[in-house]
Structures are given as C-alpha cells and as structure tokens.
Amino acid sequence: MEMRERHEHDVLVIGAGGAGLRATIEAIAAGASVALVGKSLLGKAHTVMAEGGMAAALGNNRPEDNWRVHFRDTMRGGKGLCDWRMAQAHAREAPDRVRELEAWGALFDRAEDGRMNQRPFGGHTYGRLAHVGDRTGLELIRTLQDHAVHEGADVFMECTVVRLLVVEGRVAGALAYWRPTGEFVLFRARTVILATGGLGKAWKITSNSWECTGDGVALAYHAGAELMGMEFVQFHPTGMVWPPSVRGTLVTEGVRGEGGVLTNSEGERFMFRYVPEMFEGDYAETEEEADRWVEGDRVSNRRPPELLTRDVVAKAIIAEVEAGRGSPHGGVFLDISSKRGPEYIKAKLPSMYHQFKELAGVDITVDAMEVGPTTHYAMGGVKVDPETAATCVPGLYAAGEVAAGLHGGNRLGGNSLSDLIVFGRRAGAAAAAEAKDLDLIDVADGELEDAERQALSPFAREGGRNPFSLQEELQQVMQDKVGIARTEAHLHEALADVRRLRAEVDSCSADGGRAFNPGWHTWIDLHAMLTVSEAVVLAALERRESRGAHTRIDYPDSDPEFGRVNLVIRSSDGRMVTDAEPVAAPPDDLRRLIEEGV
C-alpha cells in the first residue's frame, strides 16, 4: 500500500451540509481543532436543495405561536414516536438558532412591518417557516460555510469516507479517499460527528441529490452503532412527474403554503375528502373557508387541507391516480396561478418558476404543475442520545437527517432545517467537550491495509458486473416493493433481492484508473445503499401496522402497541437484528399538551 496522507484533529466532522457546518462552528467555538470532510464541493451539500424554510416559533405571524405549540405539532406529526426530549429542545431552541443565522448574515424575507416573514406549512398550527423565497437551504449553507471558514475550519472537499476506525470499542478516526485522485487519506481524531444526510438515492424516484446514499447510517452501523426508525421514509407529495428526465425533482411545499391547490383530472379540489378524523377540527371544510385562510382571515384558523401532513397528502394523491383521476403523466395538478398573481409568484417562488419554465416548459404563473410523490427524507437513522447527539459507540456522534429520534413516524415540513442547526450545535459542543479529555488513538496498519484492500478490490477483477446496473436494479426494487404502500409479500421479495444484490456487489469490477472513476465511486456507494436498504426492509416487515410515513396495505390500521415502541436495529454476529424498545413517555404536563392542546 502507498504512503497515506495523514491529518490529526480534535474533532472530525463527516458531512458539510447544515448539520456538519453548524457542528463545526460550535466545536471551534469550544476550542477544538476541526476537520470538515465533504463528499462534494463545499457549498454543494444536499441542504442547498431545501426550499420552503426553517420552522421556528418566532411568533411573527401570530403572537400566539410559541415553543409549546411547535412542540405539540411536532409530536402529533410524528404519530407518537418522536423522542419528546428532542422535540422539546428543538422547539425551544429553534428561534435562537434562526436569529443567530440572521446575526451571521442570513437575509431572510421580511414582512411589511420589517419583521422576519414566516410562511405556513403542512402540519403547523401557525405560519412559522422563516424563509428566503424558495431558496432557504442555499442561504443557510452560504451563511454557515462563510462563518465556518472564517472561524478556522480545516475543509477537505471531494473526500469520501470508506470506514470509521474503531480501536478497543472507541472511534479513533476515519479512512477516506480523494475522489479526484483515488488516493487514501487518514483522519485521526478524538471524536467524530456524522452529518452525512439521508438515503433517498436507494429509490429510483427521489428528490435527493447524488450524495444521499446512506453513507453515515452505514458507517455507524458497521462501527457498532444502533439504528432506529428505519421503516419511516417520507415520500414528499409533490415532485415533478414530467418530463421523465427530471421526475422526482422537488416541488416545494412552499407552493401550497403560499396558497397553491391540488386538483385532479376532473378539476376537483380533492383534499377535502382526505382529512383524517383526528384533524377534522383543524382544517377547512369548504373551498371558501380555505381561501379566506389563505387571504389572511385567521379567525377560525382552519387551514386548507393541502396543508395536511405529508404522509396524508402523498397517500391522497396516490389514491386519486389509482382511481383514474390522475393527470396525463401519472400525477395530479398543483395550481398557484388561480390564487396568486404573476409578480407575487415570481417573488415568492422564484426557483419554482424557473424550474418549471426551464425543465418542463410550463409557466406556473399561467398553468398548473403536474406533481406526484417522490422519495424525500429519512425519519430513521442512527440512534442518538437526545441531549448530546452521542451514539452508543464512545466518541461517535450524529446530527441532522442521519440521526433518528426527533421526527418519529413523519417529519413536518420545515423541521429539517431547524433540526440541522439545533442538533448540529449540540453535537459540536458535546464532541468538543469530550475531546478535551482524550488522547489520539493509534490505528494498526493492518486495519488500514485491510480497509484499503477492500476498497480497491473492484480493480483486481476483470469482466465483473457493472456497478451502475446493480445500482439501477436496487433502486427499482426499493421503488416497486418498498414504496409508499407496502405488503408482507413484496417486503419479503425485497429482502431476498437486497441480500442477493449484496452477494453480487463483490463480483463487480471497475475499469480504468482511480482518478475521477465514477464506476468505482458507485461501487463504494453501493455498500452503504445495500446496508440501509436491508435495514429499511427489515424494520418495515417488523412494523405490522400503518403509521405516519409507513403504510402496510395488509395492516391498514395503527396498532396502539406499536405506537409505544421504536424498532432498533443492531448487528449481532454479522447479522442485522431488530428489537422493539419503548418510547420514552413525556412528563404529564407535556402529555396533556400533546393530547389536549395549548
């Protein structure tokens, strides 16, 4: 093996999106030296694709809004499976984190009175999403990366981690390689924070960018960490469905937040027929009532049914398509032009205007969009301590989409961006504090050589399977058999398929050299994609009920027993095993708040 490039830091942050950047800033503020490793270029993390806004109970739209209402909305949206401690911390701290971003230079949209504007989103009692048009994630990344670089972060771009290094049960760093050259680099660190985002690229139709292959979840699992809630994968109700080349591209919930309505091929505004019984008092019963709410009449506060939680809206769209009332290309229609004028749309939804104009030839100020569900977000991930974001592996932390707990069975729109900054900060502080009392741990050359040999093995094979074809097959399996509506038969088939593909991945070969080799990069990604896919299928088989983003056609109702447990996955003798662990019960005052309201 060649000489390895080596770097030593107090804290290693893997992932340069919102959570990783915020963790980096906090760890540096605590006096730690930090290496920030990103799979793509700095500023290109998937966070930039977040559009609608970040949820925080600032009370700018409605003075009645406060952390208790936000907490209640989050817990209800998560269908009883949120960690109440994380939901409380998130709701309490989000306003300060948003104001902090503003102090660092984020340019949020303003209302006429000069206060930060906040738009409505599904599942939120009040409009509480601070936003920058429909480009909020981009502004978040711009602000955080500027601050992190200014504070002295050591940034390593286009660098992929292939293994977390664990010595005598404690994380000691990571082995990675430079994507442009294929050369290995060793990062030794006292503590490590995973902030690698989601896993949506395991499905064929997804809003996720190329980086989202489940790397952090797989790295943590193979290092000995536990996973939780893996069955809960959110399918955003509105992704583009035409043309095929852009199918799955996100259409922000901000369109509906600004008054957009969903209609079927018969011109019916169909969401009024899909309001669940538990939400009937919260949502408008007529178009007139819904339109009054959009125009600012908040007397009854009964929101348009288009602003129901994402799981409800996605399943309603599927029901309309299956009933033969879909749009020409297999979706439904989303119309903002009949509710808002052209200049308003261009000002509030500039990205959507240009996206449809350039990619679909549709002018959304005049015509309706065709939309349908797209794989969007993983509520499950690495199980962490709710206070510190620590995993069960000493020295290893996780924050953002890679971590489980906050969102339970279904995430509310806008909670993801505030999740990043609240728990990124907490992870950075905890990892830096722990690092102060630790020495760097030596890693045996044998382990490093084994990791390098395994990573390079496709180059030693000729005429093997093409990694791209295997990836495509996996994505089709997950799309067809582990989608919005699941059955035991399809899940068993998917499990067999995933395990077969896992056996085949080591027969793949990579042609050419290591520099800029996309086939090799895909083969590396496949190991993570197969790990997270198996975890999702196993958990989906075990949860024999329908709850939140997890729907079992053969078990259409929610089971109260499953409503009290999370499914945890761990490795046992090289096999994935699942266990049911009780959800921590909130204190009586918070329980009453969830059940009865503020």
Question: Which residues are catalytically annotated?
Answer: 236, 256
HSE-CB of 371 using CA atoms within 13 angstroms: 34
Residue whose token pair is 């959304």: 364
**Among 223, 171, 182, 215, residue whose Cα is nearest residue 196:** 215
Residue 351 structure tokens? 């990205």
Which helix or strand (DSSP H or E) is residue 397 part of?
strand 396-398
Phi, psi of 581 (to 5 degrees): -120, 140
Q: Is the peptide bond before 243 cis (omega within 30 degrees of 0)?
A: yes
Contacts of 297 (CB under 8 A, 6+ apart): none
Is the CB of residue 29 less than 8 Å from the CB of residue 427? no
Angle, nearest 10°, between helix axes 415-435 and 136-151? 20
Burial of 328 (0-12, 13-18, 19+ CB in 10 A): exposed
Query: In angstroms, rounded to a whole number, what is the distance separating the alpha carbons of residues 134 and 111?
Result: 16
Taken in order 65, 67, 70, 76, the sign of the CA dihedral is negative
Measured distance between the N- and C-terminal CA atoms of the chain, rounded to whole angstroms:
63
Q: Which residue has the tokens 């050299």?
A: 513
CB atoms inside a 10 Å sphere around CB 337? 16
Going from the C-alpha of 491 to that of each of 478, 529, 582, the distances in angstroms are 9, 17, 24
DSSP letter at 547? B
CB distance 27 to 428 below 8 Å: yes
Which residues neighbour 212 within 8 Å (Cβ) at sequence distance 6 or greater? 46, 197, 198, 199, 200, 201, 206
Residue 389: count of CB within 10 angstroms of its CB: 31
In sequence order, what are the residues at sequence separation of 6 or more whose Cβ sits closer than 8 angstroms to the Cβ of residue 574? none
**Which region, left, alpha or beta, applies to residue 430 given φ > 0 means left and ψ of -120 to 50 means alpha?**
alpha
Which residue has 């722990």 as its token pair? 434
CA distances from 133 to 137, 308, 357 (A): 10, 21, 17
Tokens at residue 188, please? 């030794």
Structure tokens at 466: 């093409």
Going along 484-564, which residue ranges are E strands?
A: 485-486, 551-552
How far is it, in rounded angstroms, from Cα 240 to Cα 543?
30
Dihedral pair phi/psi, residue 302, rounded to 5°: -90, 110
